[in-house]
Amino acid sequence: MSPKNVSSDGSAKNGLLTPGRIVVAVIAVLAIVFICVNTGKVTIRVIIPTVTMPLWLALLGVFLAGLVCGGYVFRRRRNR
């Protein structure tokens, strides 16, 4: 067996600001800005009923649903 790569140099791989986290943060900020600037009323058909609501609320709902789905699909599995 090879030894685990244990380094104490504080490499960016295990740091708080990884490239992936930065990209996700930028996308999340852009999505929130997009939601905030779209404030008009819209009519949305949700399967059967038709609902009138502010566009930002509909966008926020879809954004949160995407976060939940993405978190479920890409969650890290623990070794048992």
The answer on pLDDT for 64 being more than 70 is yes
Scored b (16 or more CB within 10 A) or e, 41-52 reads eeeeeeeeeeee
pLDDT tier at 12 (50, 70, 90 boundaries)?
A: very low
What span, in angstroms and rounded, lies between the C-alpha atoms of 28 and 47?
A: 27
pLDDT tier at 14 (50, 70, 90 boundaries)?
A: low
pTM for this structure? 0.58
Mean pLDDT of 6-22: 69
DSSP annotation of 9 = S
